[in-house]
């Protein structure tokens, strides 16, 4: 149960003054549904209203706070004309300017002859100082609220900074001091404030340096978040490790047949990974290993040989993919390889219904199905395994930490091998996969040619559209990826449909279209037509799934490549260069290119090594953007900024080791505070892995 002290923070944002149903919908998109989410929404800059010159000394285009006497109102009959209020001090005259003004309201706020404090941006117009729509107006009694530093927040349409500021102040009032979960010596060394003080300070920056990632309040909050993340992962890992495993050792008779039948030699890193996996499986502990392999590095063969180790030992194995297309693709790759071994793989996806599904479930339950391939349909409640020894999960980043445990729960002490083609920077590996051992496939299989990557301005688009006809005549298949439109699926799909119509006018029915809002079955139909060669040109938004395998596809065109992250461009480029033919990737960019955009496209031209690309992506864009965290299942940090807080991540990891050595069930005073920390960062599920509490 969540500790009572946190109840106020997990109330809905509608519990805050001024947040009604309409505003709460907008706010929820920006921050999240709870009061605590508002607290994590930190300012990105500030407006300093402390500067209070005389009228004659106020510099143009600066924010100032002025003491003035109201001289005269100049009402206007024409609503479009500005309503002016002339004011003065002992050094000069100025105008306050209002558009669409309500005269009665202004006369009440600014009575002639009264002194007032006004704050806003000033400029000179025909030699007279003027302030258009002052940000603040008030009396001497209100000086403390006016002549301050205002935090400026990231906003969304319909939410003003004033409203955001008020909402945050309301949220801060709901906080109270929490028991300290930090190591006292480390906290003192870092000169960090208490949690509540850090939060208040982070929301009231006074100087430029208060906004930096290394300011003590922001560092403290970032460390809290990273500590919760590392502690949660460590508890998951320990739970998996504690559940005793069982040694799985095969005699090699099936693997040797497959190896003999393969038309190629395994690469050095495939052999290395297989050795590490085999050693893990032979232990009486549960295996939890991540296999990271760049696009086309041969993960499927490693998965198959690993599955055969379990089958040789008399157990069942399952290979799970995130989508129907990928599951069927694994089936198509694996089935021919198993010919002559006496093993027939079974496939189970959401598409299997009725009698056919029942028949498959019976085969799995009886143990007749030694190798099952499928989507998450394999892990629904009605699926029972006879003796599951190994679960291989492909494209793991679609599944979270807790799903890893659910999978392993389908059998007695199931070994888990997780695979991803998304190269993940080392720093982020710790935050998402800190509970796993890692193997990496660095080489590409023999015979694969490098992809020729070219960068071209978007104004050459027409030429490109016409020139691909020649490639199609030579038998090429082409992906044409349309621009990413942040925040709007509708615009993204409209751009894809427009490009599809254009190319269709040139090439007729040889062009297909896929996008994220299509029904899965429609998408599968178009993809199947592209795979079989019924269509030669596939126009797509970024939904061309990770792992879609069309060896005949040799051209990838990406429109507005500057809008994509490096890891995404690398994934897209990985769709081609899978056969023995030379392949070309054209990155079309819109001018002018930012420095960052130039750097990204330059790296794409220079290297195909996904691991180098991932590290560069993190350096250039920060963790929030890398891999499009929304899709990637990597943790989305609200307070920690990687790589800026990389050292804090390492410190948090070391701290967690010490904590769990000394106080494995978090029973001490600090341990209890750490349980509160886990709940604060919504790691509720992991608290359940502690024996008591």
Q: What is the mean pLDDT of residues 382-390?
A: 91
Burial class (CB in 10 A: 0-12, 13-18, 19+), 125: exposed
Closest of 379, 374, 395 to residue 325, by C-alpha = 374
User: For position 1, what pLDDT does the model report?
Assistant: 87
Length of the chain measured in residues: 693
CA gap 80, 493 in Å, rounded: 39
Closest of 544, 465, 547 to residue 506, by C-alpha = 465
CA gap 530, 545 in Å, rounded: 13
User: For position 397, what pLDDT does the model report?
Assistant: 53
Q: What is the mean pLDDT of residues 508-523?
A: 88
Contacts of 533 (CB under 8 A, 6+ apart): 477, 552
Give pLDDT tens digits for 593-602: 888 889 889 9
Q: What is the mean pLDDT of residues 520-528?
A: 85
Give pLDDT tens digits for 213-229: 999 999 999 999 999 99
Q: If pLDDT is split at 50, 70 and 90, which confidence band does 530 have?
A: very high
Q: If pLDDT is split at 50, 70 and 90, which confidence band does 386 have?
A: very high
Domains and CATH numbers, the chain: 4-46+154-211 (no CATH), 50-147 (2.40.50.140), 253-441 (3.40.50.300), 451-607 (3.40.50.300)
Q: If pLDDT is split at 50, 70 and 90, which confidence band does 409 have?
A: low
Give pLDDT tens digits for 179-199: 999 999 999 999 999 999 999
Which tokens sit at 635?
């943790």
Q: What is the mean pLDDT of residues 507-534?
A: 88
Q: If pLDDT is split at 50, 70 and 90, which confidence band does 402 have?
A: low
Which tokens sit at 573?
């480029």
Tell me the Cα Rg of the chain. 31
CA distances 653 to 59, 194, 249, 599, Å, are: 51, 21, 33, 32
Give pLDDT tens digits for 3-60: 999 999 999 999 999 999 999 999 999 999 999 999 999 999 999 999 999 999 999 9
Whether the full predicted model's pTM is greater than 0.75, yes or no, is no
Q: If pLDDT is split at 50, 70 and 90, which confidence band does 285 have?
A: confident
Question: What's the chain's average pLDDT?
Answer: 89
Q: Which residue has the higher pLDDT, 314 or 264?
A: 314
Q: What is the mean pLDDT of residues 527-552?
A: 82
User: For position 627, what pLDDT does the model report?
Assistant: 43
CA gap 536, 419 in Å, rounded: 30
Give pLDDT tens digits for 45-101: 999 999 999 999 999 999 999 999 999 999 988 878 899 999 999 999 999 999 988
CA gap 131, 96 in Å, rounded: 5
Q: Which residue has the higher pLDDT, 615 or 308?
A: 308
The helix (H) or strand (E) run that includes residue 599 is helix 595-606
Q: What is the mean pLDDT of residues 471-488?
A: 84
Q: Identify the bridge partners of residue 373 per DSSP, sorted by sequence position.
A: 319, 347
User: Would you say residue 358 has pLDDT above 70?
Assistant: yes
Q: If pLDDT is split at 50, 70 and 90, which confidence band does 474 have?
A: confident
Q: If pLDDT is split at 50, 70 and 90, which confidence band does 237 have?
A: confident
Give pLDDT tens digits for 624-677: 555 444 444 466 789 998 888 989 999 999 999 999 999 999 999 999 999 999
User: For position 197, what pLDDT does the model report?
Assistant: 98
CA gap 574, 576 in Å, rounded: 5
**Peptide bond connecting 400 to the previous residue in cis, omega within 30 degrees of 0:** no
Q: What is the mean pLDDT of residues 507-530?
A: 88
User: Would you say residue 486 has pLDDT above 80?
Assistant: no
3-state class (DSSP) for residue 308: helix
The helix (H) or strand (E) run that includes residue 478 is strand 477-481
Out of 240-244, 460-464, 686-690, the most confident range is 460-464
């Amino acid at each position: 149960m969540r500790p009572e002290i946190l109840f106020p923070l997990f109330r809905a944002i509608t519990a805050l003054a001024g947040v009604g149903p309409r505003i709460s919908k907008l706010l929820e998109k920006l921050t999240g549904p709870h009061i605590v989410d508002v607290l994590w929404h930190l300012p990105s800059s500030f407006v300093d209203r402390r500067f209070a010159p005389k009228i004659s000394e106020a510099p143009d285009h600066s924010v100032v706070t002025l003491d003035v006497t109201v001289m005269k109102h100049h009402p206007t009959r024409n609503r479009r004309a500005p309503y002016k209020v002339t004011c003065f001090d002992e050094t000069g005259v100025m105008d306050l300017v209002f558009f669409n003004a309500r005269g009665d309201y202004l006369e009440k706020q600014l009575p002639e002859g009264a002194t007032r404090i006004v704050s806003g941006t000033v400029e000179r117009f025909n030699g007279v100082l003027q302030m258009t729509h002052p940000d603040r107006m008030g009396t001497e009694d209100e000086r403390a609220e006016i002549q301050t530093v205002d935090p400026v927040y990231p906003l969304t349409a319909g939410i003003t900074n004033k409203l955001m500021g008020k909402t945050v102040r309301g949220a801060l009032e709901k906080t109270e001091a929490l028991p300290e979960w930090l190591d006292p010596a480390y906290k003192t060394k870092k000169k960090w404030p208490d949690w509540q003080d850090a939060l208040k300070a982070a929301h009231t920056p006074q100087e430029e340096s208060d906004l930096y990632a290394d300011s003590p309040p922001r560092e403290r909050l970032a460390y809290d978040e990273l500590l919760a993340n590392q502690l949660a992962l460590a508890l998951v890992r320990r739970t998996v490790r504690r559940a005793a495993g069982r040694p799985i050792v095969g005699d090699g008779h099936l693997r040797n047949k497959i190896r003999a039948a393969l038309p190629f030699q395994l690469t050095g890193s495939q052999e290395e990974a297989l050795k590490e996996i085999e050693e893990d499986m032979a232990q009486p502990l549960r295996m939890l290993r991540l296999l990271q392999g760049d696009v086309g590095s041969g993960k499927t063969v490693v998965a198959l040989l690993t599955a055969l180790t379990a089958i040789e030992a008399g157990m069942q194995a399952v290979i799970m993919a995130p989508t129907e297309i990928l599951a069927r693709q694994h089936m198509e790759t694996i089935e021919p390889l198993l010919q002559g071994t006496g093993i027939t793989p079974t496939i189970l996806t959401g598409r299997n219904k009725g009698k056919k599904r029942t028949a498959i479930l019976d085969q799995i339950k009886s143990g007749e199905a030694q190798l099952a391939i499928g989507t998450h349909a394999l892990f629904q409640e009605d699926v029972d395994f006879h003796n599951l020894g190994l679960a291989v999960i492909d494209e793991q980043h679609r599944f979270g930490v807790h799903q890893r445990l659910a999978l392993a729960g389908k059998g007695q002490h199931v070994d888990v091998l997780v695979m991803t083609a998304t190269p993940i920077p080392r720093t982020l590996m710790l935050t998402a996969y800190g509970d796993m051992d890692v193997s990496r496939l660095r080489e590409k299989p023999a015979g694969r040619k490098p992809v020729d990557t070219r960068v071209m301005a978007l104004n050459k688009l027409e030429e490109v559209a016409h020139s691909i006809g020649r490639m199609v005549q030579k038998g090429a298949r082409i992906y044409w990826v349309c621009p990413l439109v942040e925040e709007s699926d509708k615009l993204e799909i409209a751009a894809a449909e427009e490009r599809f119509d254009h190319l269709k006018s040139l090439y007729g029915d040889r062009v297909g279209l896929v996008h994220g809002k299509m029904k899965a079955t429609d998408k599968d139909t178009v993809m199947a037509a592209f795979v079989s060669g019924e269509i030669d040109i596939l126009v797509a938004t970024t939904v061309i799934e990770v792992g879609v395998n069309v060896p005949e596809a040799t051209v990838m065109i990406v429109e507005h490549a500057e809008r994509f992250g490096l890891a995404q461009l690398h994934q897209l480029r990985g769709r081609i260069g899978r056969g023995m033919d030379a392949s070309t990737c054209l990155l079309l960019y819109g001018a002018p290119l930012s420095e960052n955009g130039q750097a990204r496209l330059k790296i794409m031209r220079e290297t195909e090594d996904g691991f180098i690309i991932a590290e560069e992506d993190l350096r250039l864009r920060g963790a929030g953007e890398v891999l499009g965290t929304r899709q990637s299942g990597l943790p989305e940090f609200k307070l920690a900024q990687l790589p800026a807080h990389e050292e804090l991540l390492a410190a948090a990891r070391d701290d967690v080791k010490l904590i769990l050595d000394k106080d494995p069930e978090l029973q001490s005073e600090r341990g209890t505070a750490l349980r509160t920390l886990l709940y604060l960062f919504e790691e509720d599920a992991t608290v359940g892995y502690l024996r008591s509490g």
